[in-house]
Structure 1
Amino acid sequence: MKIGVISDTHLNTPTPLLAEVVETYFKDTQIIFHAGDLCKRRVLEVFQGKTLYVVAGNRDDAEVKKWFPPHHVIEISGFKIGLIHGWGPPFGLVKRVGKRFSDVDCIVFGHSHRPVIKKKSGVLFFNPGAFCGDIFSLRRRTIGLLTLDEQIRAEVIRII
């Protein structure tokens, strides 16, 4: 099973590029994780027909924070996956988000705008980077895929 992973879209409405990314890279996925900082709830319209798991981030508006929790644990195909945005400086982010969860196989997070694939104490930490492609992400737009079979594997995809 493949899961599309995206974070830090920082948009008010869906854009043609976001729609193209969903059609191209997430076409074979039925589940999408958004790790926060979508900014406006309307951005999620582009994922119509997919099962969405979303957490609120620090830059999300009040409506997003009302609808979506700050963190969540999802059980899929026998795996427990923690979903959180993150907070604070990039240094130490893996440690901070790791403290929010126990007994999970993977933690998906965002916030730093920089991709991370790291295994620590048997837990896979995965940050797909940022869709927005701002200065913090070194102008790189990235998304991710999780593959769940006998184990969990993560992949970062650079889209621009």
Structure 2
Amino acid sequence: MLRIGVISDTHGLLRPEAMAFLAGSDYIVHGGDIGNAAILADLAAIAPLTVVRGNNDKGEWAAAVPHSALLTVGGVRLYALHDIADLDAAALPDDVRVVVCGHSHRPLAEQRGRLLYLNPGSAGPRRFSLPVTAAELLVDGDEVRANIVELISRR
């Protein structure tokens, strides 16, 4: 079984709890609003990494980060972008199975027809009363399953 760690909206804060959760991932996808280049280096030290630029990712370090990415991991085709409002689902290649996004800070794993939509929520600074979360995709042959995990309890 292949494990893809999915994280988003770190906003410059890569919590130890997020690093521990992502440890052992075969691949990592970051859904944008990264915050700085150091986070990219830290994540890339864990596993191969694909990132997309969020609306808050600015400056020289972010210039090379694409707004979207189409990738295949373990035979599963994924499309990543920061804001789901920018998605034209009808334009996606037919073999895309998972759409990864961020932006809202609201975790979501929902199957809609052929597509699994996964927003891991925010792993960075807590926003309002939203949880601090990350996610994983577990790939076993043709089967893809998403789990969202709360990294910090809400107390």
Cα-Cα RMSD: 1.8
User: Which structure features the higher share of strand residues?
Assistant: 2
2:63 paired with 1:73: no
2:127 paired with 1:135: yes
The alignment covers a number of residue pairs equal to: 147
The answer as to whether partners of 2:23 and 2:46 remain within 8 angstroms in 1 is no
* Structure 1 match to 2:37: 41
Larger RCO of the pair (alpha carbons < 8 Å, separation 6+)? 2
Question: TM-score if structure 2 supplies the norm length?
Answer: 0.85
User: Which structure features the higher share of helix residues?
Assistant: 1
Distance (Å, rounded) in 2 between the aligned partners of 1:71 and 1:80: 13
Once the two structures are TM-superposed, the CA of residue 62 in structure 1 deviates from its matched residue by 2.3
2:93 paired with 1:102: yes
Higher alpha-carbon deviation: 41-50 or 66-75: 41-50
Question: TM-score if structure 1 supplies the norm length?
Answer: 0.83
Structure 1: segments with no counterpart, 5+ residues: 88-92
Structure 2: segments with no counterpart, 5+ residues: none
Letter of the 2:115 partner, please give it.
V
Q: 1:145-160 counterparts in 2 under 5 A?
A: 145-149=136-140, 150-160=142-152
Higher alpha-carbon deviation: 26-35 or 59-68: 59-68
* Structure 2 match to 1:60: 57
